[in-house]
Structure 1
């Protein structure tokens, strides 16, 4: 065994035993030279006499190096040198098999860089590549030698950890990874901060097959992103149930769109000083063939799918424009119609042009409309695009309303940064207005702010005469809620508007409200 690499001693012993048994055999092993260099040798030998073996040995080091390079290229990511998806899958399968046999554990962490596209778009792909390499380096320093860090997608990494780590340890490891990756990184004198969303799943806590465990971790990572990103989320079976329901709902909504089952319902906005209806908010409803009229409380989750959300918005815009055209032809005053725009619609190219083209095609003035956006839209990653779109709407006579005001972040900043004509006080402040002095103080402050900035102010969710009276005393412009009317089908709007306007001889909100109770539709 002189010169044979220690790790290959057993292999050589088996080789010699096979020759004694069969008369001939071959073997590949490593040889350690006098200077410590390692060479690969292939030996073929046969039994010549009882105690004599003869054979020939070839140096196959170059062949082995070429084979190793081919294997490395096929199983590693060229940019980061980490195992790729193929090798990661092999190691996951092996780890789960071993854990099942030994009764141990396997944990999987899927890591997605939250801001990677922004870095590519603003600093270029060289910066993105540098960030991926730095991420790989940092991940490799955190895990143990027998765990696996892999790059399995463009900006997605996986960490596979095995015994003795349990699920709770893996979750803590996820938090450590997030903290390490958040440390500033300098590229060409620019300081970058990388935030990640991490999904954690484990065997035996969750699923035991490679495909299902990856799906568990992926669902958890999706949950982390949907909750605002920059967090670690551990999988639970409830997450999968919710996701499967959302997928099923998405299929049903696509069919509903094809069958023209998505329709607008309208809820009036009332001037608190004069009693006039000054506008209507268009709200999405699903006219389900078996379940009747459904509200977004049932199907709102599909708005996370940008394609479906954009399709719903486009369909509603066309339907609302046709309803407006009919009311104009009837000569019924209705004020402005508010259209709610989701984040998905602002991600679509040509949003403003498409809406204005629809108005022009149906021959309705853009000044008949306002668009409502929530602070979620303004806080989104494409806030610059949102600002430009809102400014363009405003240039064409479409007013801008900020919905659910006070429930998000940095509302004052938004009022300064974005073109806004109208703010809507969220119903959560109106609900306890008569009992809660803090809510009243907040509403009073918003109304005062609106007056100073010359904004219209509408209170949402008004349900009692006391709420309406107090809002009027505080100087609120408009109110909207079940006290006046529930959202109604387009076919009911002309009668409601006509009869409401006929009652405006020194209007009394109590009298008008009792009349509109006839229209308490879903």
Structure 2
């Protein structure tokens, strides 16, 4: 009966338990302790239970009397985690034993890699099977409970946990625990002192030295200091670090360690100098880690895991880079090998610890000491690198100083790149060019490269890489630097490396020169070579090149049929003669703009010579449309041009020809279009004439003129006449201008303007120039010998831009060697038209003439758009005023003439007035300060024999015996 009641009671308890949802577990074996045990690890003697209930039941270990009791524990934490720990202790001795149960909040061993356990309060309370709940002892880093075990007692303990796991739990003898804490406190103090000292030292060195390596190294030192400060419970003394915020602080310091180690590696190895792509990767990585630091506030576990992964990847990347650069004898990489070996060993030890392979009480403080040792090695490496270079710099400073002073004395800009500090200094600064942007150039090389034009960056970086890799060479580069606003200046840099005895490059120093004006002159020279300087249209060279290309395409059966229009104005010379060259130039500009609006983008408009234009028409291929275009072309040119109070009417002679297989070359098309234009002129002008084959017979006379003038030069049939230049003060002749005249058997007397185009087409302009120079110099010597008491000069005019040629200079030099003249005996005249054709080449040409000791005169002054600029830019000695300025018919013109004369006098220029037609104009010019005139009042241009007679009448000196 009693047995039946016992069975019913057991069933009743089981049913009741199922209704009230109580958790019941079996008791475990007790851990026996003695008075001799200083510390026992209870981690393996604990059972962890996970429940959803706030009430936990378990059976006790059988006591000395063998009785098993059931105990029930109510959770005390409102935020119950559902985790319980059960363990039993037995005191088999006959003495009372006092012990401390200690559970650390954070333990690195077995904490995990990607989702680490960053620490928390582990035990909320401990309830024994007999007596009252244990008393908690005060501690910031541990959960500590004091227990007392009576002799022979066996007690079961139920611990309410705050986390899902219990990394470690120890049973300490109170005196032993106190001794252990004191010993660790001394060790912690030593590490904190060393780490704090290094952080402050490196920070001070950064402020004093300014080297970029010191802030990167100091950042690691500060990160380590904060890391061990959290680990050693040191930051609690300065900041409010609670159990809740401790994981955030710990994750933040681990992120800081990962970020500062990467920044140090990048900075120390100067990876930005090896390739600029490294800089982009470093920036992305650093920004990611900085963002990870902010993310640690929200999810410290994941942030710490990513930081640990980044730290490991940085260590692996360092091994690869240091190995690569060491093989190439990069001294910085070689010096970093011992430090990085220590970092690699530390990473292996840390991984073994967090993965649970190393699980003891020594590994965590040992790893903290390893971090301090790493910072110490890094500090020694950086200081050795920096101060050894400074010692080298002091040894060569005097030599560099002399070189720098010499360069500064020459007016150059010093460019100095300190390779070790990665700092560029430009002295004197270029503030006048770059304004407030100049400070960006004095800094890291990356700032300098960023300021380069994007087309120049890779080439410049490649030169630097080669010099640093080979440890020899020099920089000789031309590049563009941005001055802000999208504008670039051209510079030329010449520099060479300064090296130590072991071949190590410490700095690269040289000079940088602003060549912007030189580059602009080159560009202008290239532009002038293929464009007309007045209208900006393509010149004859580019016109002919394009025509050749189009004819080649037409031969290839491509649907291109170019039509060439040759345009010449019938009455343009009268406009220049009556209204002046300035008006003529204005008319040409207006015509150029009109014609530009008439054609399409695929067509070409070119100015071939003074008043001759040509068009390559590609946009129209049908005969009817070509004819319609020719009519529009004629109407466009013939439309009146309104200038001031007068209207100018032009009448064009237009010849046109379309490509066909029998005229397959560009030269044939150009010749045929010119023959058609000549035929239009022969028919009275103001006419459009398509080419017909019989024009070739009609044009034979025109084509033979080139041969005629060529033979005329060889046979001395070209006459050189002289027009006297008078001194207004006494009326004496002081010089003569050469006038070229050719008596053609069919066309009579022709002046130079009548056949200069033929000379250019036949490419015999320089033949005529050589003929003029030789004969004019010989004639001047004959006149000077007859009138030795008076000094004369002779002036040679350059009628064609093609005479601005090195061959002209050579002929002058050769003639003067054979026939020496007195200083100032020969003067070269050049007109505004010739200067505008090629300004840059003309400037060099005139400088060469001045170097020969000859004088220069600007012809037709006052009629062009840039006359005043010419007086300043070119080395002229004399100015010849155009007839349009001398004809004074209003007070305004008189004022303009007076201003020009005064300006020329202030510039120490002599003045010759051309085209004086009456005595009244001569008197007025003399009153305004003009000393010399060239006029037909005395005589027209005359031959040398008549000139000698004229001079003899003006100067009644006896001939030289």
* Superposition TM-score, scaled by structure 2 size: 0.31
Q: Tell me, yes or no, if the aligned pair for 2:857 and 2:880 is still in contact at 8 Å.
A: yes
Alignment equivalent of 1:384, drawn from 834, 840, 847: 840
The 1:89/1:321 distance shift into structure 2, 3 A limit, reads same
Long gaps (5+) in structure 1: 1-79, 96-105, 112-140, 150-155, 175-199, 224-233, 504-522
The alignment's C-alpha RMSD in Å is 4.4
- Do residues 339 (structure 1) and 796 (structure 2) align? yes
Change (3 A) 1:86 1:467: closer
Residue 722 of structure 2: aligned partner:
266
**8 Å CA contact 1:304, 1:344 repeated in 2:** no
Output the CA distance in 1 between the equivalents of 2:756 and 2:549.
Answer: 40
Distance in 1 (alpha carbons) for counterparts of 2:867 and 2:565? 34
CA contact (8 A) 2:718 2:742 kept: yes
Identify if the C-alpha distance between structure 1 residues 466 and 408 changes in structure 2 by more than 3 Å, giving closer, same or farther. Answer: same
Deviation of the 1:168 alpha carbon: 6.6
**Alignment equivalent of 2:894, drawn from 429, 436, 440:** 440
**Partner Cα separation in structure 1 for residue 622 and residue 807 of structure 2:** 53
Superposed displacement of residue 299, structure 1: 2.9
Residue 810 (structure 2) aligns with? 353
Larger Rg: 2
What is the SS of the residue equivalent to 1:479?
Answer: strand
TM-superposed CA distance for 1:495, in Å, is 1.7
Q: How does 1:16-35 map to 2 (within 5 A)?
A: none
Closer, same or farther: CA 215–394 of 1 in aligned 2, 3 Å: closer
Gap change, CA 1:220 and 1:173, over 3 Å in 2? farther
Query: How far is the alpha carbon of 1:91 from its aligned partner?
Result: 4.8
Correspondences of 1:63-82 after superposition (within 5 Å): none
Structure 2 equivalent of residue 88 of structure 1: 554
Change (3 A) 1:163 1:360: closer
> Counterparts of 1:267 and 1:450 in 2: how far apart (Å)?
23
Equivalent-residue separation in structure 2 for 1:421 and 1:315 (angstroms): 25
Q: 1:398 to 1:201 in 2, by over 3 A?
A: closer
- Superposition pairs of residues 116-131 of structure 1, within 5 angstroms: none
Counterpart-to-counterpart distance in 2, 1:207 and 1:163: 10
- Larger RCO (CA under 8 A, 6+ residues apart): 1
Which residue among 364, 368, 374 is the counterpart of 2:825? Answer: 368
Following the alignment from structure 2 to structure 1, what is the Cα–Cα distance between the partners of residues 925 and 749? 31
Q: What is the match of residue 313 of structure 1?
A: 769
In structure 2, the CA distance between the partners of 1:400 and 1:215, relative to structure 1 (3 Å rule), is closer
**What are the Cα deviations for residues 393-439 of structure 1, in whole angstroms up to 9, with x where unaligned?**
22332110000112222111111111111110112333x33x34444
> Which position in structure 1 is the counterpart of 2:862?
406
Deviation readout 1:254-284 (Å, 9 max, x if unpaired) = 1211211112111111111222212111111
Does the 8 A contact of 2:563 with 2:618 survive in 1? yes
Distance 2:862 2:617 in 1: 39
1:445 & 1:480 partners in 2: Cα distance? Answer: 20
The match for 2:780 is 324
Paired with 1:285 and 1:317, the residues of 2 have a C-alpha distance of 15
Give 2:625's aligned residue: 166
Alignment-derived partner of residue 451 in structure 1:
905
1:49-85 CA-partner distances (Å, limit 9, x unpaired): xxxxxxxxxxxxxxxxxxxxxxxxxxxxxxx9x9974
Which residue matches 1:295? Answer: 751
Distance 1:359 1:495 in 2: 26
Q: CA deviation at 1:475?
A: 1.6
Q: 2:742 aligns to what SS in structure 1?
A: strand
SS in 1 for 2:724: strand
Secondary structure class of the residue paired with 2:620: strand
For these two proteins, the number of residue pairs brought into alignment is 333
Structure 1 residues 283, 142: CA separation in 2 closer, same or farther (over 3 Å shift)?
closer
Q: Distance in 2 between matches of 1:305 and 1:87?
A: 26
- Does the alignment pair 1:108 with 2:567? no
The question of 1:257 aligning with 2:713 is answered yes
CA pair 218-160 structure 1, distance change in 2 beyond 3 A? farther
Task: Provide the rounded CA distance (Å) in 1 between the counterparts of 2:901 and 2:881.
Answer: 9
Distance of aligned partners of 1:296 and 1:413 in 2 relative to their CA distance in 1, 3 Å threshold: same
**8 Å contact kept, 1:269–1:280:** yes
1:280 aligns with 2:746: no
Q: Encode CA deviations 1:351-407: one digit per residue, 9 max, x unaligned.
A: 2232122022123345311100001121123x3232122122223321100001122
Aligned CA distance change for structure 1 residues 452 and 110 (closer, same or farther; 3 Å): same
Deviations along 1:126-148, one digit per CA (max 9) or x if unpaired, are xxxxxxxxxxxxxxx978xxxx9
8 Å contact from structure 2 (residues 562, 617) kept in 1: no
Over 3 Å counting, the alpha-carbon distance change for 1:243 and 1:275 in structure 2 is: farther
Query: How far apart are residue 167 of structure 1 and its match?
Result: 2.7
What are the within-5 Å matches in structure 2 for residues 200-211 of structure 1? 211=662
Query: 1:483 maps to what in 2?
Result: 937
Match of 1:423, SS state, is strand
CA shift for structure 1 position 456: 0.7
Alignment of 1:496-511 (within 5 A): 496-502=950-956
Secondary structure of 1:460's counterpart equals strand
Consecutive unaligned residues of structure 2, counting only runs of 5 or more, are 1-545, 567-599, 605-614, 634-653, 676-685
